[in-house]
Structures are given as C-alpha cells and as structure tokens.
A and B are shown apart, each in its own frame.
Chain A
Amino acid sequence: MQTESLPTLPKGELAEVPPGPPLLSSLRTQLRVIGALLLREVITRFGRRNLGVLWLIFEPALFTLGVAVMWTAAGLNHGANVPIVAFAITGYSSVLLWRNAVSHCTYALKDNFNLLYHRNVQAIDVFAARILLEVTGATGSFLILSTLFTAIGWIAPPVDPLKVVGGWLMLAWFGGSLALLVGAACSFSELIKRLWTPIAYLLFPLSGAAYMVYWLPPAKRYLALILPMVHGVEMLRDGYFGTQVPAYYNVGYMAMINLSLTFFGLLLLRLAARHVEVE
C-alpha cells in the first residue's frame, strides 16, 4: 500500500513550554504571536513584489510629501515665522500616525476572526499587530522625510529632539488607544464603521495638523485644546521649532484622555471578544 511510505515527522518538534513563571511565559507567547501576526499582515498587505514591505513607509511618505508640496505652493503660512515644509511634515505625519492606526483596526476582528481558532491568538494580539504596524509605518515615514529634508537643508533640525519624541509617543499612544476603542466598537455595530470615515475626515482640519493654536484668537484657543491630538502636535512642533513659535499644550490633559481611551478600549475589546461570532 502506498500509504505506508508516508514520511514521518522529525522528533523534537514539540512546542516546549518555556521555563520561568507562568506570567513571563504567557508574555513570551503573546509577543511571539504578535510577531507572527505582524509578518503575516505585512506580506498580506504589501506582497513581495516591487518594494514589498517598504510601502509601509513609502505610502505615508508620499502622502506627506504631496501635502507638503501643496501647502508650500498655496503659501499656507499665516503665521509668517513658521517654516512651511517642517510645518507640513510635522502636521501631516501626526495625522497619519493616529488616523491610520484607527482606520486599519475597524475591520481587525472581522478580518482575523478565523485566527482565533488558534488557542494562542487573542483579539488583543490582532489589534496590537495592526497598531504596531501603522505606528511603525508612520514613524518610518516621518523619520525618513525629516532626515532627508534636513540633509538637503529644506528644514532645520529640531531644537529639542526629546520633546519631538515625547510628542510623537503621545500621538502614537492616542492613536493606539483610539484604535482599540473604535475597533472594538466596530465589532458591535456596522454603524460605527460607517461613521468613522466621515469623522476622521472632519477631524483632520481640526486636529492641529494645518494650524497652530496661537494663530487662533486667544479667546477661542481653549476650544481647539479640547481635542487631545492638538496637544500632541503642538508638543511635537514645540520640540521642532523651540521658542521660534509659541506652542500651547498640556501633556497631563492628553495623558488623561489617552489613559481613559486605553482603559475603555481594553474593556470594550474584552466584551467584543466574548461577543464575537462567525458570520
């Protein structure tokens, strides 16, 4: 019988339980799973042809570049002392940072439901992978563009790089936590998915990407500062331009909002994971 010549599996293929306390080993498993999901997502979205994974960075970079060119051409510098190219790059990169994370999480559970059949894969891993990927892409694009433009002398290097990093991390945290909340909410209602696109569109002009708070009349500034991402962009630009332009932000306020978003996002995701079912 031909079936007797079947190949056998090599010995020692057993997934060994790593030594150490259970918490550590589950953390290790989770990191491994997120890593595997990241790789899978990259191949799925960008393929292997052309530039492959580099599109993760080039796509946002092209967007940012386009916007920078348009804004420069349109002379969008009301506040005459803001360097327009740096203004465009810091602004549009921050929008991509939080907006892409959320947009790619609206279908996260639906797209990956079948992966939950694997015991090790949890809903949170699927979100973590997508958020990490978007944050990496936006960060890579921002780094490449700012380095490139600094090298050719179109923009000055940041006055306070640490503050730039701080603002960037705050925006990434904001994007990640909002992605958790919106993504989890989407698995309860199709409506949220539909609403997110116009909301993201409307938030763009309000988000601080295309203006600075000090351009506004002093009595109206508090209105802009209700939006948490405005604080992040202002901080980023404060780091970039230093005393050249006045910046208005409150890290504590933004952290509070981010923390609340994270808390409710995780909570809702927990509920969503219980509620999720095959369609």
Chain B
Amino acid sequence: MIELRNVCKEYQTRHGRRLVLDDVSLRLERGRNVGILGRNGAGKSTMIRLLSGAEKPTSGRIVRGMRVSWPLAFAGAFQGQLTGLDNLKFVARIYGVDWRPLVPFVEEFTELGEYFREPVSHYSMGMTTRLAFALSMAIEFDCFLIDEAMVVGDRRFHERCHIELFKKRRDRAFILVSHDANVIQRYCKSACVLHRGRLLHFPSVQAAYDFYESTPP
C-alpha cells in the first residue's frame, strides 16, 4: 500500500507562503487504482512529486509499502549527452536490474532505430516520450504514478501505452492525475478531486465526476 497521512505542502512565493496541499490523506492498496481530478494549479503535480519522493511534505507523512514508480513517461531525468541506451543503463543500475535483457523491449517499443545509440538531445519530442515510457515499463513497480499531461503522443503511441499499462499490468496499482474527467472515468475504479488544496473523497467515480463538472474552480 501507499499512504498519505495528513500531508500539507507549502511553497514560498513572493507573496508569502502558499499552502498548495492542505491536510491531504489517501490510502491505496496493492492492485487498486485511484484517479485524482484537479484543475490547472490545483496541486496535481505537487501531489505526484510528493508521492514519488522528489519533494518532501511540509508536514504529515507518506508511507510506502510497495515499490512506487517515478512519474510515468517522465523525461526530465534524461541527460541530453547520454544516449537512449545510456539512459536505460543508468535507470537499470539505479534500480538494481540487469539492463541487457531489457534492450530488445526498449528498442522495439521506442522504434528509435539507430537513434537508440545517439544522444537524447538529438531526439524529437515524440522519441523522448517513447523512450521515457519504455523505461518506465522496463523496471517493475507495484504502483505507477501517472500524470496524464506527461504522456503526450499520437494515437498509435497511446494505444501501445494502453496495452502495456492497463492490459499487461492490470494487476498493478496506479495513481492517475488529470484535469480531464473523462480520462479518469475511463481508467479508474475510484476517484478523488483536488479542490482548493483539499483532497475530496467520493463513494464512486461518478460522484467525483459530477462534483468536478459542476463546481467552478
């Protein structure tokens, strides 16, 4: 399971301290999933950063009882001078996995061809995203963190992501954040809404959907 216990997150701004997450609690068991809906600036990305451990909460606790991924398809940790293969090796080393058996999968999924052995700085946006997604899949996790806004690509890419993530890995837990209520409704079995810093829980996805659609920001 992964659990947020009374988590608050404040940021220092020019106009003093701003409370982005206010007493947020959430618990997700192995194999379950939850969608978190929120408008622009509602704190979705902050939520992902806290869940992945990149940032620490100002107060409250985050307990991780399972292996939580880095944000799916997150390309920010790529180093431009490293090749796609270097980045695969790096990630594999970080997680203590042998990189060699992963090469065929990553090469085929990314369809990078020769570019796989070229510096990432030469990649197009789409190539970078495909590589980032493939690396997310190459390492085994119990729980995936997905920021819908990060997984951008064409239809074919989306279909393939869908198969890898929601079909082949349907036994895993995931937390999906999005501003799009339809996305949440399509993929998630439960849903919450981030509203004015609070995380509101609902008995059903439909209830969350209705609240989100009917509430002005």
Binding site for B on A (CB under 8 A): 2-3, 6-10, 12-16, 18, 29, 32-33, 35-36, 39-40, 43-44, 47, 113-121, 273-274, 276-278
Enumerate chain A residues within 8 angstroms of B56, measured Cβ to Cβ.
Answer: 273-274
Apart from A13-B101, A119-B67, A278-B49, 19 more pairs, CB < 8 Å: A2-B156, A6-B109, A7-B109, A9-B101, A9-B138, A14-B140, A15-B67, A29-B96, A32-B93, A32-B94, A33-B94, A36-B93, A36-B94, A40-B86, A114-B76, A118-B70, A121-B94, A274-B56, A278-B55
- How long is the Cα–Cα vector from A10 to B100 in the complex, in angstroms? 10
Contact B105 A47 (CB under 8 A): no
- Chain B interface residue count, Cβ-Cβ cutoff 8 angstroms: 44
How many pairs of residues, A versus B, come closer than 8 Å at their CB atoms?
Answer: 107
Cα separation A8 to B108 with both chains bound (whole Å): 10
- Residues A13 and B140 in contact, CB atoms below 8 Å apart: yes
Q: Which residues of A contact B97 (CB under 8 A)?
A: 13-15
Partner of A13, one of B54, B102, B109: B102
Could you name 19 residue pairs across A and B whose Cβ atoms are closer than 8 Å? Answer: A3-B159, A3-B160, A3-B163, A6-B164, A13-B101, A13-B140, A15-B140, A32-B93, A39-B89, A39-B90, A43-B82, A43-B86, A113-B54, A114-B54, A116-B53, A117-B52, A117-B77, A119-B67, A120-B95
A30 to B137, CA, bound (A): 23
Measured CB to CB, the residues of B under 8 A from A are: 11, 49, 52-56, 64, 67-68, 70-71, 74, 76-77, 79, 81-82, 86, 89-91, 93-98, 101-102, 104-105, 108-109, 137-140, 156, 159-160, 163-164, 168
